[in-house]
Structure 1
Amino acid sequence: METQEWYTIRNADAIDTPALVLYPERIRANIHAATGMTDHIERLRPHVKTHKSPEVTKLLLEAGIQWFKCATLAEAAMLAHAGAPDILLAYQPTAAKLGRWLELIRKFSGVTFSCLVDNAATGALLSEAAQKAGIPLHVYIDLNVGMNRTGIKPDEGALELYEALTRMPDIRVEGLHAYDGHINETDITQRNDSCTRAFAPVYFLRTLLKERGYPPVKLIAGGSPTFSVHAGKPDVECSPGTFVYWDKGYQELLPDLRFVPAALVLARIISLPAPDQVCIDLGYKSIAAEQPINRRVFFLNAPELKMLRHSEEHLVAETVPGHGWKIGDLLYGLPYHICPTVALYQHAEVVMDGAKTGEWPVAGKDYMR
């Protein structure tokens, strides 16, 4: 009996390209793997920036996960509509966002919302808005452990900020947040050592807060690369995101993490510009293009293709003379970076048991910014 590769779609003629394609069985397998990496499911707070999907959110909820993290108000709204009971906006809202943030909190009064703060001025802004609205705002202090983009260093300044925030009216300080995306060594021992060094000041800060009489301080930490490291430590909420779909980049970089690709981009050959070249309908409007051209997509059924030129609607790749590819041939592409790739699509094609069965919206783009 002829076997079919896991990614092959029997009724692919029903799908126009380029298309984002999801495999729910594999998404469930990745969720199961993630829940098995922590001793308590309460320590999982997955980031939804990768999938932006109410359907994937519901799969996470069905697995028992109740705590979520997002990067935008649109993603927060998507989570609330999908039934998530606890939502952290891993972003520090400016005055321009505060009105919509408060509106979301009012609309979903049964949901626990929180956001990040890394300075006293923003804390004061939130406090004033909370008092006017009559709604207390929950916050986590954003710590800079080496990403150097947002956050306050976990030192005396962070201790002073924590204490200042606790004195502000209608501000509820829930704990600390630290993202360590810069820690991504392939060797797990090196990754573990880097993570331990980066978080030593964070743990010392928690100790100081405890000594000053504050209740136990929550810590939300990490992404996918350091997930296994933080999962092995007590009292840390882990925030992997890419794990639900996985991608070629993390598959190569993090071989110790046994997640499987669950999202592809489907493309077709649309021209044969030279005897040793094919042109594919996968421009950089359809696949994340922030990395070098040879690290944007890997075609599972055409691993020999070498990317040459990339433009808005076209990808030209080199093959061998006499290759046999024809116009209209289907290519199954594994993105190197799935998160920004998903953000390029309005919906995804859903494939179950080797056939397209429906569509899922990328709804985290549509509610609001």
Structure 2
Amino acid sequence: MMTKSDIPTPALVVDLPTMERNIRLMSDYFASRACKLRPHFKAHKTPEIARRQIAAGSCTGLTCATIGEAEVAATVSNDILIANEIVDADKCRRAAALAQKVGVTVAIDSVAGLEQLSRAATEAGVTLGVLVDLNVGQNRCGVAPGEEAVALGKRARTMPGLKLRGVMGYEGHAVGIHHRAEREAAVRRSMNQLSSTAKMFAEAGLPTELVSGGGTGSYDISSEVERINEIQAGSYALMDSDYGSLDTPFQQALFVLGTVVSRPVPERCVIDAGHKACTKDHGNPSVKGMKDATVLALNDEHAIIAIPPASQVRVGDRLALVPSHIDPTMNLHDVVYALDGDNVVGVWPIAARGYGRG
């Protein structure tokens, strides 16, 4: 059997028992609630992980960020939400083609987007679901909550080939706030805008079948807000140091494995895992199990790590980095090695990585 020492570095590895515990914890949380989970596929882009999330229960389907992700996710789920706007004609046609096989719902925040989706759906003879996307404070995409959203919802309801299903909004600006009370207040401010708009939809006779939002840092807050009925959390299965600094019950399961290729001086070592193997957009990674080690820099192919001069680290040893942001780190690799202890029990394709599919 292949073991950890046989894995060519740099490599992504997942602690399988820890990942399964994380998945079970989230599934159990939603099991007795009206609000359910729609795991975000973009976090790991890996069908085998998505299968395990769905099998654990409490899921309505999968969330995706791109049409390319959706095409891969559709191999394991029959209900896909693309939680970003797609307006390119080819991508809309691909969404319509996918809707011939599985249920597809797309976020919209413009009439132009509605028209493109409607045209693609009618040409393909299918129905695409749409959710009106709200700007609930992240200031990215989305229409203003309230009347503007209702007006777009009314327009969506008249478009051939489309089925309005409700509203969504992502409080991404709030999910990473470290102080619990401050995070809860910010999340509730955002989700109350989503909830109040859903109420206005209902009063206007518009559907509220889906009222979707939330993330790993806010799942237990957003899910308690009235009318919110699904949460789009994704990072919880694997985790990263950014989310790991919050008060969630999930444990770190994903690591970037590297080999010590140099120890030029006692207080420094170098491993063969740089920023081509581990992103640093949320800060440098940390080193698993070495609180006295600090990643000083990530170069293309190397991580330069400060260590105590008395450390027993030797050339040829394996060290594991804890990424600060899993989504883009997963996107750098073709496969992830599943570990149970030191044994490799699976080599899983990260099938939706990259932009070859859009």
Q: TM-score range by the shorter chain?
A: over 0.9
- CA deviation after TM superposition for structure 1 residue 341, in Å: 0.9
Structure 2 CA distance for aligned equivalents of residues 215 and 101 of structure 1: 21
Deviation at 1:349, TM superposition (A): 0.9
Check conservation: 2:239, 2:252, Cα contact below 8 A. yes
Q: CA shift at 1:311, angstroms?
A: 1.1
Change (3 A) 1:313 1:131: same
- The alpha-carbon deviation at position 122 of structure 1 amounts to 1.2
2-side partners of 1:50 and 1:206: how far apart?
27
SS of the residue aligned with 1:37? helix
Q: Give 2:321's match in structure 1, choosing from 326, 329, 333.
A: 333
Matched, 1:47 2:40: yes
Q: Which residue of 2 aligns with 1:290?
A: 281
In the other structure, the counterpart of 1:238 is 231
List runs of 5+ in structure 1 lacking aligned partners.
Answer: 1-8
Which residue matches 1:120?
Answer: 111
Aligned match of 1:250 in 243, 249, 254? 243
Corresponding residue for residue 175 of structure 1: 166
Q: Is the 8 A contact 1:206 1:217 kept in 2?
A: no
Whichever residue aligns with residue 71 of structure 2, its letter is: A
Per the alignment, residue 209 of structure 1 pairs with: 201
Q: Deviations over 1:255-302 (max 9, x none)?
A: 2x10011111111110123332211111100001223xxx32111233
Secondary structure at the aligned position of 1:289 is classed as coil
Residue type matched to 1:138 in 2?
Answer: G
1:21 alignment counterpart:
13
Distance 1:81-1:215 versus aligned 2 partners, 3 A rule = closer
The residue type paired with residue 147 of structure 2 is E
Secondary structure of the structure 1 residue equivalent to 2:129: strand
Structure 1 residues 324 and 24: CA distance shift in structure 2, 3 A: closer
Identity among equivalent positions (%) equals 29
Specify which of 78, 90, 102 is matched with residue 72 of structure 2. 78
Q: Using a 3 Å threshold, how does the CA distance of structure 1 residues 42 and 192 change in structure 2: closer, same or farther? A: closer
The 3-state SS of whatever aligns with 2:173 is coil
CA distance in 1, matches of 2:231, 2:83: 13
In 2, Cα distance between equivalents of 1:195 and 1:232: 11
Task: Work out which of the residue numbers 276, 282, 304 in structure 2 matches 1:316.
Answer: 304
Name 2:83's counterpart in structure 1: 90
The answer as to 2:357 corresponding to 1:368 is yes
Shift of 1:62: 1.4
Cα gap change, 1:301/1:132 in structure 2, threshold over 3 Å: closer, same or farther?
same
Task: Return the offset for 1:322.
Answer: 4.3
Note the 1:146-185 alignment, pairs <5 A.
146-183=137-174, 184-185=176-177
* Matching residue's letter, 1:228: D
CA distance in 2, matches of 1:352, 1:309: 30
Q: CA deviation at 1:176?
A: 0.4
Distance in 1 separating the partners of 2:290 and 2:106: 44
* In 2, Cα distance between equivalents of 1:59 and 1:79: 13
Q: Is residue 139 from structure 1 mapped to residue 127 from structure 2 by the alignment?
A: no
Residue by residue over 1:184-214, the C-alpha shift from the partner in whole angstroms, topping out at 9 and shown as x without a partner, is 3222222221122223332222222222233
SS at match of 2:244: helix
Instruction: Tell me how far apart the structure 1 counterparts of residues 199 and 99 of structure 2 sit (CA, whole Å).
Output: 32
Residue 215 (structure 1) shift: 4.1
Report the equivalent of 2:63: 69
What residue number does 1:58 align with? Answer: 51
Superposed displacement of residue 217, structure 1: 4.5
Aligned length: 352
Q: Which residue of 2 aligns with 1:11?
A: 3
* 3-state secondary structure, aligned to 1:246: coil
Structure 1 distance, partners of 2:266, 2:240, is 31
Give 1:97 deviation, angstroms: 1.3
Q: TM-score of the superposition, structure 1-length normalised?
A: 0.90
Structure 1 pair 68–41 and aligned structure 2 pair: CA distance change class (3 A): farther
Cα distance in 1 for residues equivalent to 2:33 and 2:278: 36
Quote the offset at 1:232 in angstroms: 2.1
User: Given the superposition, is the C-alpha separation of residues 152 and 212 from structure 1 closer, same or farther in structure 2, using an over 3 Å criterion?
Assistant: same
**Structure 2: gaps spanning 5 or more residues:** none
Does the Cα contact within 8 Å between 2:188 and 2:225 map onto a contact in 1? no
Deviation at 1:303, TM superposition (A): 2.5
How many angstroms apart in 2 are the aligned matches of 1:354 and 1:55? 20
Measured at CA, do residues 175 and 329 of structure 1 come closer, stay the same or move farther in structure 2, by a change above 3 Å? Answer: same
The alignment's C-alpha RMSD in Å is: 2.0
TM-score when normalising by structure 2: 0.92
Aligned to 2:187: 195
Classify 1:247/1:100 alpha carbon distance in 2 versus 1 (closer, same or farther; 3 Å).
same
